[in-house]
Structure 1
Amino acid sequence: MMRISELTVRFGAFTAVGGVSLDVAPGTVTGLVGESGSGKSTLARAVAGLTPYRGTVTGVERGRVQMVFQDPYSSLNPRMRIGDAIAEGSRVPRARRDAEVARLLDLVSLPAAHARRYPRELSGGQRQRVAIARALAAGPDVLIADEITSALDVSVQGAVLNLIRDLRAELGLTMLFISHNLAVVRYVCDAVAVMRHGHLVEAGPVGDVIGAPSHPYTRTLLEAVPSLART
Protein backbone atom coordinates (compact mmCIF):
# COMPACT_ATOMS: atom_id res chain seq x y z
CA MET A 1 0.00 0.00 0.00
CA MET A 2 1.36 3.39 -1.00
CA ARG A 3 0.10 5.78 1.64
CA ILE A 4 0.19 9.54 1.08
CA SER A 5 -0.36 11.39 4.34
CA GLU A 6 -0.93 15.14 4.77
CA LEU A 7 1.17 15.96 1.70
CA THR A 8 1.61 19.70 1.20
CA VAL A 9 3.45 21.55 -1.54
CA ARG A 10 4.03 25.29 -1.33
CA PHE A 11 5.62 27.65 -3.83
CA GLY A 12 6.36 30.73 -1.73
CA ALA A 13 3.06 31.91 -0.26
CA PHE A 14 1.03 29.81 -2.71
CA THR A 15 -0.19 26.40 -1.57
CA ALA A 16 -0.43 24.14 -4.61
CA VAL A 17 -1.34 21.03 -2.62
CA GLY A 18 -2.78 21.35 0.86
CA GLY A 19 -2.64 18.36 3.20
CA VAL A 20 -3.72 15.60 0.83
CA SER A 21 -4.03 12.03 2.19
CA LEU A 22 -4.63 9.12 -0.17
CA ASP A 23 -4.05 5.35 -0.21
CA VAL A 24 -3.14 3.52 -3.43
CA ALA A 25 -3.68 -0.22 -3.03
CA PRO A 26 -1.12 -2.59 -4.59
CA GLY A 27 -1.99 -3.89 -8.04
CA THR A 28 -4.66 -1.22 -8.60
CA VAL A 29 -4.95 1.88 -10.73
CA THR A 30 -6.09 5.00 -8.88
CA GLY A 31 -7.25 7.95 -10.97
CA LEU A 32 -6.49 11.50 -9.90
CA VAL A 33 -8.83 13.98 -11.58
CA GLY A 34 -9.50 17.68 -11.54
CA GLU A 35 -9.38 20.77 -13.71
CA SER A 36 -6.15 22.43 -14.77
CA GLY A 37 -4.57 24.01 -11.71
CA SER A 38 -6.24 21.64 -9.25
CA GLY A 39 -2.85 20.39 -8.01
CA LYS A 40 -3.03 16.84 -9.35
CA SER A 41 0.22 16.98 -11.36
CA THR A 42 2.02 18.75 -8.53
CA LEU A 43 0.93 15.99 -6.16
CA ALA A 44 2.20 13.38 -8.62
CA ARG A 45 5.58 15.10 -9.00
CA ALA A 46 5.92 15.24 -5.22
CA VAL A 47 5.18 11.50 -4.89
CA ALA A 48 7.79 10.83 -7.59
CA GLY A 49 10.38 12.86 -5.67
CA LEU A 50 10.56 15.64 -8.27
CA THR A 51 9.07 18.39 -6.10
CA PRO A 52 9.85 19.14 -2.42
CA TYR A 53 6.94 18.57 -0.05
CA ARG A 54 5.89 18.30 3.56
CA GLY A 55 4.10 15.20 4.81
CA THR A 56 4.89 11.54 4.21
CA VAL A 57 4.76 8.96 1.41
CA THR A 58 5.14 5.45 2.78
CA GLY A 59 4.89 1.91 1.43
CA VAL A 60 7.21 2.54 -1.51
CA GLU A 61 11.00 2.84 -1.59
CA ARG A 62 12.62 6.06 -2.70
CA GLY A 63 13.53 5.82 -6.35
CA ARG A 64 10.96 3.07 -7.00
CA VAL A 65 8.35 5.47 -8.38
CA GLN A 66 8.56 6.19 -12.11
CA MET A 67 6.65 8.85 -14.02
CA VAL A 68 5.41 9.03 -17.62
CA PHE A 69 4.86 12.63 -18.68
CA GLN A 70 2.26 14.33 -20.83
CA ASP A 71 4.51 15.24 -23.77
CA PRO A 72 6.46 12.18 -24.95
CA TYR A 73 8.74 14.19 -27.24
CA SER A 74 10.04 16.65 -24.64
CA SER A 75 10.55 13.84 -22.11
CA LEU A 76 12.90 11.94 -24.47
CA ASN A 77 16.42 13.06 -25.34
CA PRO A 78 16.28 13.84 -29.09
CA ARG A 79 19.96 12.96 -29.49
CA MET A 80 19.64 9.53 -27.86
CA ARG A 81 18.55 6.41 -29.69
CA ILE A 82 15.42 4.74 -28.38
CA GLY A 83 17.30 1.66 -27.19
CA ASP A 84 19.81 3.74 -25.22
CA ALA A 85 17.02 5.80 -23.64
CA ILE A 86 15.27 2.66 -22.42
CA ALA A 87 18.48 0.94 -21.30
CA GLU A 88 19.59 4.01 -19.32
CA GLY A 89 17.23 3.21 -16.46
CA SER A 90 17.43 -0.58 -16.65
CA ARG A 91 18.54 -2.55 -13.62
CA VAL A 92 19.76 -5.61 -15.59
CA PRO A 93 23.50 -6.29 -16.23
CA ARG A 94 24.98 -4.47 -19.23
CA ALA A 95 25.48 -7.73 -21.15
CA ARG A 96 21.72 -8.37 -21.08
CA ARG A 97 20.52 -4.88 -21.88
CA ASP A 98 19.90 -5.39 -25.61
CA ALA A 99 17.65 -8.36 -24.84
CA GLU A 100 15.92 -6.38 -22.09
CA VAL A 101 15.29 -3.44 -24.42
CA ALA A 102 13.79 -5.81 -26.99
CA ARG A 103 11.57 -7.34 -24.28
CA LEU A 104 10.34 -3.94 -23.13
CA LEU A 105 9.65 -2.75 -26.66
CA ASP A 106 7.63 -5.90 -27.27
CA LEU A 107 5.77 -5.27 -24.03
CA VAL A 108 4.56 -1.93 -25.39
CA SER A 109 3.86 -3.43 -28.84
CA LEU A 110 6.81 -1.91 -30.70
CA PRO A 111 9.28 -3.87 -32.86
CA ALA A 112 12.81 -4.42 -31.53
CA ALA A 113 14.20 -2.59 -34.59
CA HIS A 114 12.87 0.67 -33.13
CA ALA A 115 15.76 0.54 -30.64
CA ARG A 116 18.02 1.98 -33.36
CA ARG A 117 15.74 4.91 -34.14
CA TYR A 118 15.60 8.43 -32.73
CA PRO A 119 12.49 10.02 -31.17
CA ARG A 120 11.96 12.28 -34.21
CA GLU A 121 11.50 9.17 -36.38
CA LEU A 122 8.49 7.97 -34.38
CA SER A 123 4.89 9.13 -34.16
CA GLY A 124 3.49 10.68 -30.99
CA GLY A 125 1.81 7.46 -29.96
CA GLN A 126 5.00 5.47 -30.55
CA ARG A 127 7.04 7.96 -28.53
CA GLN A 128 4.60 7.63 -25.63
CA ARG A 129 4.98 3.85 -25.80
CA VAL A 130 8.76 4.32 -25.61
CA ALA A 131 8.32 6.58 -22.57
CA ILE A 132 6.24 3.87 -20.89
CA ALA A 133 8.87 1.23 -21.73
CA ARG A 134 11.60 3.46 -20.30
CA ALA A 135 9.66 3.88 -17.06
CA LEU A 136 9.08 0.12 -16.81
CA ALA A 137 12.80 -0.54 -17.35
CA ALA A 138 13.50 0.60 -13.79
CA GLY A 139 11.11 -2.01 -12.36
CA PRO A 140 9.00 0.54 -10.47
CA ASP A 141 6.79 -0.27 -7.51
CA VAL A 142 4.46 2.51 -8.63
CA LEU A 143 4.00 3.97 -12.11
CA ILE A 144 2.59 7.50 -12.41
CA ALA A 145 0.94 8.42 -15.71
CA ASP A 146 0.46 12.18 -15.97
CA GLU A 147 -2.12 13.06 -18.66
CA ILE A 148 -0.34 10.64 -21.00
CA THR A 149 -2.94 10.81 -23.80
CA SER A 150 -3.81 14.52 -23.79
CA ALA A 151 -0.96 15.47 -26.18
CA LEU A 152 -1.83 12.68 -28.64
CA ASP A 153 -4.15 12.59 -31.60
CA VAL A 154 -7.62 11.31 -30.77
CA SER A 155 -7.05 8.41 -33.17
CA VAL A 156 -4.22 6.99 -31.02
CA GLN A 157 -5.45 7.86 -27.53
CA GLY A 158 -7.57 4.72 -27.30
CA ALA A 159 -4.66 2.49 -28.29
CA VAL A 160 -2.47 3.93 -25.52
CA LEU A 161 -5.27 3.51 -22.95
CA ASN A 162 -5.74 -0.11 -24.05
CA LEU A 163 -1.99 -0.61 -23.60
CA ILE A 164 -2.22 0.68 -20.02
CA ARG A 165 -5.05 -1.77 -19.30
CA ASP A 166 -3.08 -4.64 -20.83
CA LEU A 167 0.09 -3.79 -18.90
CA ARG A 168 -1.81 -3.55 -15.65
CA ALA A 169 -3.34 -7.01 -16.25
CA GLU A 170 -0.05 -8.59 -17.36
CA LEU A 171 2.32 -7.02 -14.83
CA GLY A 172 0.02 -6.30 -11.88
CA LEU A 173 1.10 -2.66 -11.95
CA THR A 174 0.26 -0.23 -9.19
CA MET A 175 -0.53 3.07 -10.86
CA LEU A 176 -1.52 6.65 -10.16
CA PHE A 177 -3.31 7.78 -13.34
CA ILE A 178 -3.80 11.52 -13.75
CA SER A 179 -6.47 12.91 -16.05
CA HIS A 180 -9.04 15.68 -16.36
CA ASN A 181 -11.43 13.26 -18.10
CA LEU A 182 -13.67 11.09 -15.93
CA ALA A 183 -14.62 8.93 -18.92
CA VAL A 184 -10.97 7.95 -19.35
CA VAL A 185 -10.60 7.35 -15.63
CA ARG A 186 -13.62 5.05 -15.56
CA TYR A 187 -12.10 3.04 -18.41
CA VAL A 188 -8.70 2.38 -16.83
CA CYS A 189 -9.04 2.88 -13.05
CA ASP A 190 -10.29 0.95 -10.03
CA ALA A 191 -10.54 3.97 -7.73
CA VAL A 192 -10.65 7.72 -8.24
CA ALA A 193 -9.69 10.75 -6.17
CA VAL A 194 -11.03 14.19 -7.11
CA MET A 195 -8.91 17.30 -6.48
CA ARG A 196 -9.93 20.93 -6.46
CA HIS A 197 -7.78 23.94 -5.56
CA GLY A 198 -5.07 21.70 -4.09
CA HIS A 199 -7.41 19.69 -1.87
CA LEU A 200 -8.98 16.26 -2.11
CA VAL A 201 -12.76 16.65 -2.20
CA GLU A 202 -13.86 13.06 -2.85
CA ALA A 203 -12.34 9.59 -3.22
CA GLY A 204 -13.56 6.02 -3.55
CA PRO A 205 -14.15 3.14 -5.96
CA VAL A 206 -14.58 4.53 -9.46
CA GLY A 207 -18.09 3.08 -9.86
CA ASP A 208 -19.26 4.67 -6.61
CA VAL A 209 -17.80 8.11 -7.29
CA ILE A 210 -19.11 8.26 -10.86
CA GLY A 211 -22.41 6.55 -10.06
CA ALA A 212 -23.26 8.56 -6.95
CA PRO A 213 -20.88 11.51 -6.46
CA SER A 214 -21.14 13.16 -3.06
CA HIS A 215 -19.42 16.47 -3.84
CA PRO A 216 -20.88 19.22 -6.08
CA TYR A 217 -17.54 19.66 -7.86
CA THR A 218 -17.48 15.99 -8.87
CA ARG A 219 -21.00 16.38 -10.24
CA THR A 220 -19.81 19.38 -12.26
CA LEU A 221 -17.00 17.30 -13.77
CA LEU A 222 -19.49 14.56 -14.61
CA GLU A 223 -21.80 17.00 -16.36
CA ALA A 224 -18.93 17.88 -18.69
CA VAL A 225 -19.00 14.26 -19.93
CA PRO A 226 -22.62 13.73 -21.07
CA SER A 227 -22.34 9.96 -21.55
CA LEU A 228 -21.24 9.60 -17.92
CA ALA A 229 -23.77 12.05 -16.53
CA ARG A 230 -26.55 9.80 -17.83
CA THR A 231 -25.16 6.59 -16.26
Structure 2
Amino acid sequence: MMRISEVTVRFGSFTAVDGAGLDVPAGTVTGLVGESGSGKSTLARAVAGLTPYAGRVSGVARGRVQMVFQDPYSSLNPRMRIGDAIAEGSRVPRGQRAAEVARLLELVSLPAAYARRHPRELSGGQRQRVAIARALAAGPELLIADEITSALDVSVQGAVLNLIRDLRAELGLTMLFISHNLAVVRYVCDSIAVMRHGRLLETGPVQDVLGAPQHPYTRTLLDAVPCLAHG
Protein backbone atom coordinates (compact mmCIF):
# COMPACT_ATOMS: atom_id res chain seq x y z
CA MET A 1 0.00 0.00 0.00
CA MET A 2 1.20 3.49 -0.87
CA ARG A 3 0.54 5.78 2.09
CA ILE A 4 0.56 9.58 2.05
CA SER A 5 0.91 10.90 5.60
CA GLU A 6 0.48 14.58 6.56
CA VAL A 7 1.96 15.83 3.29
CA THR A 8 2.21 19.63 3.10
CA VAL A 9 3.51 21.69 0.19
CA ARG A 10 4.19 25.39 0.54
CA PHE A 11 5.29 27.96 -2.01
CA GLY A 12 6.46 30.88 0.09
CA SER A 13 3.54 31.85 2.31
CA PHE A 14 1.00 29.99 0.16
CA THR A 15 0.01 26.49 1.29
CA ALA A 16 -0.89 24.44 -1.79
CA VAL A 17 -1.34 21.13 0.05
CA ASP A 18 -2.25 21.15 3.72
CA GLY A 19 -1.58 17.97 5.71
CA ALA A 20 -2.95 15.52 3.15
CA GLY A 21 -3.29 11.88 4.14
CA LEU A 22 -4.35 9.13 1.73
CA ASP A 23 -3.89 5.38 1.26
CA VAL A 24 -3.70 3.82 -2.21
CA PRO A 25 -3.97 0.02 -1.84
CA ALA A 26 -1.82 -2.09 -4.17
CA GLY A 27 -3.51 -3.06 -7.40
CA THR A 28 -6.22 -0.41 -7.13
CA VAL A 29 -6.98 2.92 -8.79
CA THR A 30 -7.68 5.87 -6.51
CA GLY A 31 -9.26 8.96 -8.04
CA LEU A 32 -8.23 12.39 -6.81
CA VAL A 33 -10.87 14.99 -7.73
CA GLY A 34 -11.48 18.67 -7.20
CA GLU A 35 -11.71 21.96 -9.01
CA SER A 36 -8.78 23.59 -10.77
CA GLY A 37 -6.38 24.95 -8.16
CA SER A 38 -7.48 22.52 -5.46
CA GLY A 39 -3.96 21.10 -5.06
CA LYS A 40 -4.47 17.79 -6.88
CA SER A 41 -1.52 18.07 -9.25
CA THR A 42 0.73 19.58 -6.59
CA LEU A 43 0.08 16.60 -4.31
CA ALA A 44 0.77 14.24 -7.21
CA ARG A 45 4.06 15.96 -8.01
CA ALA A 46 5.06 15.70 -4.35
CA VAL A 47 4.35 11.96 -4.36
CA ALA A 48 6.38 11.63 -7.57
CA GLY A 49 9.31 13.47 -5.99
CA LEU A 50 9.01 16.44 -8.36
CA THR A 51 8.05 18.98 -5.69
CA PRO A 52 9.58 19.39 -2.20
CA TYR A 53 7.19 18.61 0.65
CA ALA A 54 6.92 18.04 4.36
CA GLY A 55 5.39 14.81 5.63
CA ARG A 56 5.88 11.23 4.49
CA VAL A 57 5.17 9.04 1.48
CA SER A 58 5.72 5.33 2.18
CA GLY A 59 5.06 1.99 0.53
CA VAL A 60 6.72 2.88 -2.77
CA ALA A 61 10.44 2.80 -3.54
CA ARG A 62 12.26 5.99 -4.45
CA GLY A 63 12.29 6.40 -8.21
CA ARG A 64 9.50 3.88 -8.77
CA VAL A 65 6.73 6.43 -9.25
CA GLN A 66 5.96 7.42 -12.83
CA MET A 67 3.71 10.26 -13.94
CA VAL A 68 1.71 10.72 -17.15
CA PHE A 69 0.91 14.38 -17.74
CA GLN A 70 -2.05 16.20 -19.23
CA ASP A 71 -0.38 17.33 -22.45
CA PRO A 72 1.43 14.44 -24.14
CA TYR A 73 3.10 16.63 -26.74
CA SER A 74 4.87 18.85 -24.20
CA SER A 75 5.99 15.80 -22.20
CA LEU A 76 7.67 14.13 -25.20
CA ASN A 77 10.91 15.37 -26.75
CA PRO A 78 9.89 16.44 -30.29
CA ARG A 79 13.35 15.58 -31.65
CA MET A 80 13.42 12.08 -30.20
CA ARG A 81 11.94 9.09 -31.98
CA ILE A 82 9.14 7.33 -30.15
CA GLY A 83 11.19 4.17 -29.64
CA ASP A 84 14.08 6.09 -28.11
CA ALA A 85 11.73 8.00 -25.79
CA ILE A 86 10.23 4.76 -24.49
CA ALA A 87 13.59 2.98 -24.21
CA GLU A 88 15.14 5.89 -22.30
CA GLY A 89 13.52 4.88 -19.01
CA SER A 90 13.54 1.12 -19.56
CA ARG A 91 15.17 -1.14 -17.01
CA VAL A 92 15.94 -4.00 -19.44
CA PRO A 93 19.47 -4.56 -20.84
CA ARG A 94 20.33 -2.39 -23.84
CA GLY A 95 20.36 -5.34 -26.23
CA GLN A 96 16.77 -6.20 -25.35
CA ARG A 97 15.34 -2.70 -25.60
CA ALA A 98 14.06 -2.89 -29.18
CA ALA A 99 11.97 -5.92 -28.29
CA GLU A 100 10.81 -4.26 -25.08
CA VAL A 101 9.76 -1.12 -26.97
CA ALA A 102 7.76 -3.27 -29.41
CA ARG A 103 6.10 -5.04 -26.46
CA LEU A 104 5.17 -1.79 -24.76
CA LEU A 105 3.78 -0.27 -27.97
CA GLU A 106 1.64 -3.37 -28.45
CA LEU A 107 0.51 -3.07 -24.83
CA VAL A 108 -0.90 0.40 -25.55
CA SER A 109 -2.37 -0.75 -28.90
CA LEU A 110 0.14 0.92 -31.21
CA PRO A 111 2.09 -0.79 -34.04
CA ALA A 112 5.73 -1.58 -33.35
CA ALA A 113 6.63 0.42 -36.48
CA TYR A 114 5.67 3.61 -34.61
CA ALA A 115 8.99 3.33 -32.78
CA ARG A 116 10.60 5.04 -35.78
CA ARG A 117 8.21 8.00 -35.77
CA HIS A 118 8.45 11.38 -34.07
CA PRO A 119 5.74 12.83 -31.79
CA ARG A 120 4.61 15.31 -34.46
CA GLU A 121 3.62 12.39 -36.70
CA LEU A 122 1.11 11.08 -34.15
CA SER A 123 -2.34 12.22 -33.08
CA GLY A 124 -2.99 13.47 -29.55
CA GLY A 125 -4.46 10.15 -28.48
CA GLN A 126 -1.51 8.25 -29.94
CA ARG A 127 0.97 10.54 -28.20
CA GLN A 128 -0.78 9.93 -24.89
CA ARG A 129 -0.52 6.17 -25.49
CA VAL A 130 3.23 6.65 -26.08
CA ALA A 131 3.49 8.63 -22.82
CA ILE A 132 1.78 5.76 -20.99
CA ALA A 133 4.13 3.22 -22.61
CA ARG A 134 7.14 5.32 -21.60
CA ALA A 135 5.91 5.43 -18.00
CA LEU A 136 5.34 1.66 -17.97
CA ALA A 137 8.87 1.07 -19.33
CA ALA A 138 10.29 2.01 -15.93
CA GLY A 139 8.27 -0.70 -14.16
CA PRO A 140 6.55 1.70 -11.76
CA GLU A 141 5.18 0.65 -8.41
CA LEU A 142 2.79 3.60 -8.67
CA LEU A 143 1.51 5.22 -11.86
CA ILE A 144 0.10 8.75 -11.57
CA ALA A 145 -2.24 9.88 -14.35
CA ASP A 146 -2.74 13.65 -14.18
CA GLU A 147 -5.80 14.73 -16.21
CA ILE A 148 -4.58 12.50 -19.04
CA THR A 149 -7.72 12.85 -21.19
CA SER A 150 -8.60 16.52 -20.66
CA ALA A 151 -6.34 17.73 -23.51
CA LEU A 152 -7.69 15.14 -25.96
CA ASP A 153 -10.58 15.29 -28.38
CA VAL A 154 -13.79 13.89 -26.92
CA SER A 155 -13.80 11.23 -29.63
CA VAL A 156 -10.57 9.66 -28.32
CA GLN A 157 -10.99 10.20 -24.57
CA GLY A 158 -13.05 7.03 -24.17
CA ALA A 159 -10.45 4.93 -25.98
CA VAL A 160 -7.69 6.13 -23.64
CA LEU A 161 -9.86 5.47 -20.58
CA ASN A 162 -10.59 1.97 -21.84
CA LEU A 163 -6.86 1.46 -22.28
CA ILE A 164 -6.27 2.45 -18.65
CA ARG A 165 -8.91 -0.05 -17.50
CA ASP A 166 -7.38 -2.79 -19.64
CA LEU A 167 -3.84 -2.09 -18.43
CA ARG A 168 -4.96 -2.07 -14.83
CA ALA A 169 -6.63 -5.47 -15.30
CA GLU A 170 -3.70 -6.98 -17.22
CA LEU A 171 -0.80 -5.59 -15.19
CA GLY A 172 -2.38 -5.12 -11.74
CA LEU A 173 -1.33 -1.46 -11.77
CA THR A 174 -1.54 0.71 -8.68
CA MET A 175 -2.68 4.15 -9.81
CA LEU A 176 -3.46 7.63 -8.59
CA PHE A 177 -5.87 9.01 -11.19
CA ILE A 178 -6.35 12.79 -11.13
CA SER A 179 -9.41 14.33 -12.74
CA HIS A 180 -12.02 17.05 -12.34
CA ASN A 181 -14.56 14.80 -14.08
CA LEU A 182 -16.57 12.63 -11.68
CA ALA A 183 -18.04 10.55 -14.50
CA VAL A 184 -14.52 9.59 -15.61
CA VAL A 185 -13.50 8.78 -12.04
CA ARG A 186 -16.51 6.51 -11.54
CA TYR A 187 -15.63 4.66 -14.76
CA VAL A 188 -11.95 4.12 -13.96
CA CYS A 189 -11.46 4.16 -10.18
CA ASP A 190 -12.09 1.92 -7.16
CA SER A 191 -11.93 4.67 -4.56
CA ILE A 192 -12.05 8.44 -4.57
CA ALA A 193 -10.54 11.33 -2.62
CA VAL A 194 -12.10 14.79 -2.85
CA MET A 195 -9.76 17.77 -2.54
CA ARG A 196 -10.38 21.48 -2.08
CA HIS A 197 -8.07 24.36 -1.13
CA GLY A 198 -5.22 21.92 -0.50
CA ARG A 199 -7.15 19.68 1.88
CA LEU A 200 -8.65 16.24 1.45
CA LEU A 201 -12.29 16.50 2.48
CA GLU A 202 -13.68 13.04 1.88
CA THR A 203 -12.36 9.61 0.87
CA GLY A 204 -13.88 6.19 0.34
CA PRO A 205 -15.06 3.64 -2.24
CA VAL A 206 -16.37 5.31 -5.39
CA GLN A 207 -19.88 3.91 -4.99
CA ASP A 208 -20.09 5.18 -1.40
CA VAL A 209 -18.72 8.68 -2.00
CA LEU A 210 -20.70 9.28 -5.19
CA GLY A 211 -23.78 7.42 -3.98
CA ALA A 212 -24.02 9.09 -0.58
CA PRO A 213 -21.55 12.00 -0.32
CA GLN A 214 -20.92 13.20 3.24
CA HIS A 215 -19.26 16.55 2.59
CA PRO A 216 -21.21 19.52 1.16
CA TYR A 217 -18.46 20.22 -1.37
CA THR A 218 -18.68 16.67 -2.73
CA ARG A 219 -22.42 17.11 -3.12
CA THR A 220 -21.80 20.36 -5.00
CA LEU A 221 -19.45 18.60 -7.42
CA LEU A 222 -21.97 15.81 -7.84
CA ASP A 223 -24.86 18.17 -8.52
CA ALA A 224 -22.90 19.61 -11.43
CA VAL A 225 -23.08 16.22 -13.18
CA PRO A 226 -26.83 15.42 -13.44
CA CYS A 227 -26.38 11.87 -14.71
CA LEU A 228 -24.36 11.04 -11.59
CA ALA A 229 -26.43 13.07 -9.15
CA HIS A 230 -29.52 11.14 -10.14
CA GLY A 231 -27.87 7.75 -10.37
TM range, smaller chain:
over 0.9
Q: CA deviation at 1:224?
A: 1.0
Residue 149 of structure 1 corresponds to: 149
Does structure 1 residue 223 correspond to structure 2 residue 206?
no
Does structure 1 residue 162 correspond to structure 2 residue 162?
yes
Question: How far apart are the structure 1 equivalents of 2:184 and 2:87?
Answer: 30
Q: 2:75 is paired with a residue of what secondary structure?
A: coil
Q: CA deviation at 1:90?
A: 0.1
Residue 173 of structure 1 corresponds to: 173
Alpha-carbon deviations, 1:173-225, whole Å to 9, x = none? Answer: 00000000110000000000000000000000000000000000000110111
Question: How far apart are the structure 2 equivalents of 1:117 and 1:220?
Answer: 45
Residue 37 of structure 1 corresponds to: 37
Question: How far apart are the structure 2 equivalents of 1:165 and 1:197?
Answer: 29
Residue 198 of structure 1 corresponds to: 198
Question: How far apart are the structure 2 equivalents of 1:222 and 1:153?
Answer: 23
Question: How far apart are the structure 2 equivalents of 1:224 and 1:43?
Answer: 24
Q: How does 1:8-27 map to 2 (within 5 A)?
A: 8-27=8-27
Gaps (5+ residues) in structure 2?
A: none
Counterpart amino acid of residue 148 in structure 1: I
Counterpart amino acid of residue 112 in structure 1: A
Question: How far apart are the structure 2 equivalents of 1:130 and 1:28?
Answer: 22
Q: 2:78 is paired with a residue of what secondary structure?
A: coil
Gaps (5+ residues) in structure 1?
A: none
Question: How far apart are the structure 2 equivalents of 1:69 and 1:224?
Answer: 25
Q: How does 1:1-231 map to 2 (within 5 A)?
A: 1-231=1-231
Question: How far apart are the structure 2 equivalents of 1:226 and 1:95?
Answer: 53
Question: How far apart are the structure 2 equivalents of 1:69 and 1:27?
Answer: 21
Counterpart amino acid of residue 25 in structure 2: A
Question: How far apart are the structure 1 equivalents of 2:186 and 2:10?
Answer: 30
Q: What is the TM-score when the length of structure 2 is the normalising length?
A: 1.00
